[in-house]
Each structure stands twice: as structure tokens, then as C-alpha cells.
Structure 1
């Protein structure tokens, strides 16, 4: 537990506030599910050892690079959530004590730090996406849509400016330099044509290109969406 604060009200009742501190690269729009689960475990144990006290909790996310911070407040212990998480912890402990037990595994935000990810049953077949990853995917889709709109806006602005400047212009204002000029045509090698007509030369001059990881995120259209679109029309 990072911090907890104890208060005494005027009526004599006690209150304990649990604060979980998270350092992060960029403040998320909502706290990750693993953060919330950790806070619920802490609040649950605090309540077990402090019967009769009011227990509350919050998560303080701090971006150490920019200095930005955000507190996610308003949490309180929940018996069902604590019981589920406690049983999960007990199961993990039992599997550590008895290697013949098969642990129940699930994917999460920290899987990229796990040295046993390769071959993990949680990544076999079609993987269930954790809620915190879904939140990141939703943010990605929103930003991607804004990027596409920004590209269209930039293209329109460029066309409007060039309609004034033409292809040969240089001008300046107090804090803006504006220049337009033609870029001479160049040449490039048609790799497909070279490979087809001169395969021996292609084999001699080709070089390896580094691969990369591609990420595809798309919204799945449901049956209800076309109906809703027709109703809206």
C-alpha cells in the first residue's frame, strides 16, 4: 500500500482513505482495470483490520515526464469484488506451492513484461481482450479518426494557400515564413519490373528490409448498426 490517511469526524466515527500511486507515461482517460483491482484488494484488507471505519480509496496517476497528474476518486470497498480477487490470490499462492496444479491464466496490461508469455495458454487461439487494452484501442481509434480528418483539412488548406502563392513564392510576416516552389521530377527503380526482366541483376542488388509489427484495429459492424442507420436516415 502506498498511502493511507486516517481521519476522525466530529461524531467520533473514523475514516481511512487508501491512495494508490501510479507513475505512468501519459495520463489515461480512465484508470486501468489492474489499478482498480489492486486498490480494491488494499481497501478490502484495510476494512478487515478496521471494522466500523469508513473506507474510501483513490488512484493518483503521475506522468513523471511532463509533471501532469490526475486523481481518480470515489472508490469504496465492494464485498463481491474483494472476494473474487482474494480467491484469485489464494489460487496463485496454491499453484506456487504445488507445481502439479494448473493455474488459471488470463491476459492483462502487464503481459508484455512476462518472460513466460510465449506458450502461455492465455495467448492460445483467439485471445480475450482485457478491458484496459480495450480502452487503449478505443483511444487509438478516436485519435486515428482525428488524424484522418486532420490530413483532409491540411490538404484543403494547402490547396487554398497554393491558389494564392502559385508554384514560385516567398513571403514573410512578423512570425511566419511562407514559401512555395516546384520540386523537380526524379527517377526511381521499378523493383517488380527489374525482377521480371533482369532477375540475375535483381538478385545481386537487392538488400534485406527490416520487418515491423503491424497493428490493425477496426470496429466490428453488428446487425443492429445498419438498422439504426436506416432509422436515423
Structure 2
């Protein structure tokens, strides 16, 4: 979490750093209860090691990550407006028990009862468009439907996932039909986690999309350097897509360079064709830069006095 004693923080920053996590923690307890006392539907679709350690240690997150998490609630609010006019209920609890008796509870975002059919709707926030729902999303909805079904008498049940990018407005719906095999996988994961919690023995880690943000990644064997990694299906799909886009990216750069040359030569600031508009942007930085190579050699004292640590960055290279 951000250091409240950091001199760069304003008094409001200090208040936010202290207050926001407390408010969100209280909201979670009020709506979901003590999540360490039961297995939730969102616990079983991803890394069971993270789910186990989260219940055991209750990790702290920085303010930025708390804000990222809040995008999920924004998505729920948008979906609620999408469903306005239907007989939906929110935060519907469906419960069961693991083989060892450990409680399982699913808090379903939306349940729409149409009489003969009940539809489960799960809202998901995403920062990139997705062609297929993540496996963790599907397993979560399968467990929700499986736990809800016994209370529905003869009604049929099916599910939908609505993925939303709150930054761009992109959204997509995915239908999820009940699948006994997938439900058993979800229930099997719940049993594995339940046994781990009962025996206080941490399960093995599993490579997931969110490994880079996991608070427990420091000593995780699954992401240790040099380890063979079983890539998630969605990461494989993205790598394949990236490879296909490689040639397109080169073509895009070629087109941009040619258009830029034309617009620069003809003093054209804006070019429009049908529904595409292109604006020629100019760098408004300093007119001069510094030859760091010469400065380092010819004026080493000045260079040493004013140098600052370089910011590290990483990039992907398609091989």
C-alpha cells in the first residue's frame, strides 16, 4: 500500500490511502460476509493457491489495485441498467457443501426468473476485448447454476456472461449452458480447496492471467524462473493472434509513414475519408536534446551530478 508518510502525498492522499481500503473492506463484509469461512464461486475458477492464501492472510493492495477492482462493480451497475424491466434479483446466494462439509457459497450477480426458465447473469470487467470467455468465468457460472438448480423445482436454468470494458464501451455476451462435466470440475476444485483449508496445506499454484498482480507471486513455484509453464488457453490464443497481427502491424506502419509524408509535404493537418479521420500530431517538446554519450565522456562531473536512475521497462519480441 502507498506510504502515507511519503512527502509527495497531499493530506487528501493520506486520507484516501487510509480510508478507501477500510470502506471497501467493510462493503465486502456487508455484502459477502467473511470470505475466509466459505468457498466462493470466484475462488474455484483460477489459482487455488492464491484463493487459499487470500483466505489465510488477507493481503493488502495498493490504492491503484483497489480502484482496478472497483471496475467490476461499475460493470455490475451497467448490467443492472441493461436488465432494467426484467424480473431480476441481485446478489442471490446459492449454497452447498464440499465433501468434507466446508461451506460453499455463490453470490450470483443477477438471477432473472422468467417463470419456466431462470437465467443467471455474471458481469465481468475486462481491459481488452475477448473472443471467448475465460475458463475461470465459465467454471464460476457453472458452479453458480449447479448450486442454484436444486431450489428451482422443474425450472430450467442457463447462464450468460456479460464482459464489459468500461474504458472503451466495448461489451460482449456469452451464453453458458449447464454442463455436468464442467460443473464437476468446478466442484472438484472446491473440494481441493476445502481439503487444503481443513488441513492447512497450501495447494500448488497455477499459471493464470493475473499472475503479475498476485500478492503471493514472490515464492510461487509455478512462476519460478526456468520452470516449464503450462500456458492458459487464453494466453495461447492471444499469442497466436499476436503472431497473425505481426505482418498487419508492419503494413499499418507503412501506411502511416506514407500518409504522414503526404500530409507533412502538403501542410495538411486533418485528412478525412468516409468515417476515418486522421490528424497529424506534432511533438511539442524542446527543440533540442542532449547528447548523453558526449556529456558522459567530456563532462563526467556534470553527468554524474544530474543523472537519475533510469526507469526499467519490458517489451514483447515476436520470434
Task: Provide TM-score, normalisation by structure 2.
Answer: 0.51
- List per-residue Cα deviations over 1:121-152 (Å, max 9, x = no partner): 21121322212333444454455543321111
Q: 1:203 to 1:170 in 2, by over 3 A?
A: same
Which structure 2 residue ranges, 5 or more long, are not aligned?
A: 1-107, 273-277, 281-286
Q: 1:108 aligns with which of 202, 208, 212?
A: 208
**Do the aligned residues in 2 keep the contact of 1:141 with 1:217 (CA within 8 Å)?**
no
Local SS of the residue matching 1:90: helix
CA distance in 2, matches of 1:33, 1:190: 49
Is 1:80 aligned to residue 181 of structure 2?
yes
Which one has the largest radius of gyration?
A: 1
Displacement of 1:5? 2.0
Aligned length: 197
- Counterpart of 1:62 (choices 144, 161, 164) is 164
Tell me which of 191, 195, 198 is aligned to 1:97: 198
Contact 1:34/1:109, CA 8 A, preserved across alignment: no
- Compute the displacement of 1:24 (Å): 2.9
Deviation at 1:58, TM superposition (A): 0.9
Query: Quick one: which of 217, 242, 245 aligns to 1:117?
Result: 217
The structure that is helix-richer by fraction is 2
Provide structure 1 residue ranges, at least 5 long, that are not aligned to the other structure. Answer: 9-13, 179-184, 220-233
TM-score normalised by length of structure 1? 0.67
Question: Residue 303 of structure 2 corresponds to which residue in structure 1?
Answer: 205
Q: Which moved more, 1:152-161 or 1:111-120?
A: 152-161
State the SS of the aligned residue for 2:230: coil
**Aligned to 1:29, which of 115, 131, 141?**
131
Describe the superposition over 1:34-70 as per-residue Cα deviations: whole angstroms up to 9, x where unpaired. 2112111112222344464322111012233344432
Q: Return the match for 1:41 from 143, 156, 168.
A: 143
Which is bigger in relative contact order (C-alpha 8 A, separation at least 6)? 2
SS across alignment from 2:217: coil
